[in-house]
């Protein structure tokens, strides 16, 4: 017999989603510096104590907002890899191009990167340098995707993890600090990844 729906849990889930959506909307429209807990509580329609039960501070909210964006990118990366089932390097190239082109059009990333005043830069460490929710999560997820999609019997787990970390770090660098056209960045990363797989020692 199926368990009865938990009304309280459902309402709390809806509340969290509303807080996250409201925070994201403010960031996109006005920048991260415009987000504060008092304003969030008012726009969501709850008291500050209720809000703080869901998110202790802005940093915690930022992690969740960015984590949702990462989910979107990871889903697209999985599709790109699956579309090139016989060639890991071409699959990775397609995934890199998807990431850079989608990122260039992502309103949340644009809002975060456009904010260069002291309040707005609070979101940048979450995006660029912290292990979670972007870098570490992306490395782990993409490594598992590549391992699951391609046979790669000649590539050990440590070797694949090292290649994937290099790939993710390069892609994020080009995404957040572009120095030229996307096609050029894709070509550069392709060269590095192709060379990494070609230079693996025989097993």
pLDDT for residue 80? 97
Q: Using the 8-state DSSP alphabet, how is residue 135 labeled? A: I
Q: Give residue 118's pLDDT.
A: 47
Is residue 175 in some structural domain? yes
Residue 181's pLDDT is what? 96
What is the pLDDT tens value at each position of the chain, 203 positions in all?
A: 555 568 888 898 999 999 999 999 988 888 778 888 999 999 999 999 999 999 998 888 888 888 888 899 999 999 999 999 989 999 999 999 999 999 988 888 777 666 544 455 555 555 555 555 578 888 999 999 999 999 898 899 999 999 999 999 999 889 888 889 999 999 999 999 999 988 776 55
As a whole number of angstroms, the distance between CA 119 and CA 113 comes to 12
Residue 39 falls inside a structural domain: no
Residue 48: inside a domain, yes or no?
no
Alpha helices in the chain (DSSP H): 7-30, 37-44, 48-54, 58-82, 88-104, 107-114, 124-128, 136-149, 157-176, 182-198
What three-state secondary structure class fits 15? helix
The sign of the torsion formed by the CA atoms of 184, 186, 192, 194 equals negative
pLDDT reported for residue 116: 45
Cβ contact 97:175 at 8 Å = no
Is 42 a member of any domain? no
Strand, helix or coil for residue 56: coil
Domain range enclosing 110:
66-198
DSSP conformational letter for 118: T
Q: What is the pLDDT of residue 121?
A: 53
The number of folded domains in the chain is: 1
Report yes or no on 108 lying in a domain.
yes
The answer to whether residue 75 sits within a structural domain is: yes
Residue 63 has a pLDDT of: 82
- Is 46 among the domain residues? no
Say what the pLDDT of residue 69 is: 84
pLDDT of residue 146: 96
| Residue 145 domain flag | yes
Contact present, 100 and 174 (Cβ < 8 Å): yes
């Amino acid at each position: 017999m199926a368990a009865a729906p938990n009304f309280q849990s459902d309402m709390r889930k809806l509340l969290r989603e509303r807080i996250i959506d409201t925070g994201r909307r403010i960031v996109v429209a006005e920048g991260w510096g415009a987000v504060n807990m008092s304003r969030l509580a008012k726009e969501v329609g709850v008291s500050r104590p209720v809000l703080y039960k869901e998110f202790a501070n802005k940093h915690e909210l930022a992690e969740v907002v960015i984590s949702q964006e990462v989910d979107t990118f990871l889903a697209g990366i999985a599709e790109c890899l699956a579309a090139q089932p016989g060639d890991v390097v071409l699959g990775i190239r397609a995934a890199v191009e998807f990431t850079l082109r989608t990122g260039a059009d992502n309103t949340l990333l644009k809002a975060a990167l456009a904010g260069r005043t002291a309040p707005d830069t609070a979101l940048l460490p979450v995006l660029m340098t912290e292990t979670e929710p972007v870098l570490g999560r992306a490395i782990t997820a993409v490594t598992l995707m590549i391992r699951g999609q391609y046979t790669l019997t000649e590539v050990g787990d440590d070797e694949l993890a090292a290649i994937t970390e290099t790939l993710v770090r390069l892609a994020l660098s080009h995404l957040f600090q572009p120095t030229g056209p996307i096609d050029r960045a894709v070509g550069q990363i392709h060269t590095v990844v192709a060379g990494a797989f070609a230079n693996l020692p025989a097993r």
